[in-house]
Structure 1
Amino acid sequence: MATAGRRTNWFAIWVSVAVVAVVVVVGVAVVLINNAASDPGPAPEAAIVNTETGAISVGEGPDVVATYIDFMCPVCRQFEEVYAETLNDLVADASITLEYHPVAILDRASQGTQFSTRSANALYCVAVTSPEAVTPFVSAMYANQPAETTPGLTDEEIIAIATDAGAGDVAACITERRYDAFVTAQTTTIPEDAQGRAGTPTVTVNGERIDLTGDPQADIVDRVS
């Protein structure tokens, strides 16, 4: 069984989460109104992708840890820094199946380039083309995370990160934005907290939404068998 990773100052982090959560409630409502009758577009067909839930699964453990992430979200990067080592260890020792749910709640923060949607689409492209590159790609995207209110990474920069992470030919999938509509549809499925707010990062363990404390041992390890 894996052991816990590092701690950090989560007071300031979760103040930011509260702001993101309020914004996404409004954003999700708009998406639902505008897209309720629209086609979600092609689904990413791959053995590791659940086309109904949008989950990209890594590992084959009996317990399921699901993470809802936005690559523009600075709190998601902090989550990655604190929890990734523990999660990856649990995957490696077959304790858990780790699910990535790439969503897009911060397109408004990338000067019209829709970086959140483009980067989420890119993760699906990697999952379809090169499943083994999913976790390295996620880590590399956070290592190269752009600041909010900037245009974000270009498609060419995202393609280069995917290639360096071990992905095959994902260029056309990324530039065509093949799964954008699928990402939009999945963004409406983020589990809400007790106050009815949805934000990123959101984590569930075996379907139960958890309140993150910054302690991987208590939040994740102690909840899995």
Structure 2
Amino acid sequence: MTMSPARTPHIARQLRRGGVLLAAAALALGLSGCGASTPEPAASPAGAAPAAPVEMRVGAEPGAAGVPDVEIYADYACHWCAAMDIAVSDYLDRAVADDAISLRYHPVAILGGADSLSRNGVAVAGCVADADVTAFPAFHNAMFHAQDPDNMRDIPVSEMLTFAENAGVLDMDGVRSCVQAGTYLPWAEAQAELARTQPLPGTGSPLKSVPTILVNGEAYSGSPLEVNELRAFIESHAS
């Protein structure tokens, strides 16, 4: 996906400077996010719901007393998602390691159809999570940290498999078999359709843009690039 200069506030340069300064209009997720505006992917075959991978959740057990439940919806082809992950992943990783949050990832292919980075990324993510959900965050982060948010590129499946191996997944034979069989391609399509058409839990509306962050079901409306702002929002839901 290519970004025009008019839309892109030179995200990567701002991140490298250490202080992201965005125009006020860009701070709202509904404006700064990547919208679901591309053609629908091909429909999955009729019949039973496609097989789903394990829940992509790490950190504390969901529902633990005083622990915020954080959910992140992101598309691997989204430049704002890449910028957000680069900005906040260290904080989220520490919070997970400390069991300070329960974090669930929702990779969703709302930006592309068949053979796209969006769809293939979600399908490979499902295989990685099934093989080793504890290694999933490192894989997820690698998918974004390999990008320049100002100049997004395609990532071939072979490189995604390298990310999985570097993340520490031990059963790489299983991941490769899963990917080669296209095990989670139908699920990737189905998840995208659900996200576009069905209300997200606790929000009352479908996914309109990515990244979207929910904490205890409440949508975060601040800057996705300001880690201190996000931390404050998450910690305000600890009780």
TM-score, normalization: structure 2? 0.71
The answer to whether the aligner puts 1:18 opposite 2:31 as a matched pair is yes
Residue 203 of structure 1 corresponds to 213
Distance 1:15 1:224, change over 3 A: closer
Indicate conservation of the 8 Å contact 2:59/2:101, yes or no.
yes
How far does the alpha carbon of each residue in 1:110-155 deviate from its partner, in whole angstroms, 9 at most, with x for none?
Answer: xx63111111111111110012211111111112137799771111
Corresponding residue for residue 43 of structure 1: 52
> What RMSD, in angstroms, separates the aligned Cα atoms of the two structures?
3.3
Distance verdict in 2 for CA 1:158–1:195, change over 3 Å: closer
Relative to 1, partners in 2 of residues 1:117 and 1:38: Cα closer, same or farther, differing over 3 Å? farther
- State the 1:82 CA deviation: 2.0
Structure 2 regions of 5+ residues with no counterpart?
1-17
SS of 1:185's equivalent in the other structure is helix
Is 2:20 aligned against 1:8?
A: yes
Structure 2 residue 133 is matched with structure 1 residue 128: no
Q: Which residue of 2 aligns with 1:85?
A: 90
Q: With structure 1 as the length reference, what TM-score do the two structures score?
A: 0.75
Equivalent residues of 2:112, 2:119 under 8 A apart: yes
2:116 to 107, 114, 119: 114
Question: Aligned equivalents of 1:38 and 1:147: distance in 2?
Answer: 38
| 8 Å CA contact retained: 2:32, 2:80 | no
Distance 2:220 2:84 in 1: 13
In 2, are the aligned partners of 1:72 and 1:148 still within 8 Å (CA)?
no
What's the CA shift for 1:223?
A: 2.7
After superposition, give the CA deviation of every residue in 1:38-89 in whole Å (9 maximum; x if it has no partner): 6442222x3xx1xxxxxx1101253210000111111011111222122222
Q: What aligned pairs does 1:1-225 form with structure 2 within 5 A after superposition?
A: 7-11=19-23, 14=27, 18=31, 23-24=35-36, 26=37, 30=40, 39-44=48-53, 46=54, 49=55, 56-61=56-61, 62=64, 63-107=68-112, 113-145=115-147, 152-167=154-169, 168-169=171-172, 170-187=175-192, 188-189=194-195, 191=200, 198-213=208-223, 214=226, 215-225=229-239
Higher fraction of helix:
1
Instruction: Report the count of equivalent residues.
Output: 204
What is the percentage of aligned positions where both structures have the same residue?
25
**Change in CA separation of 1:102 and 1:175 when aligned onto 2, cut-off 3 Å:** same
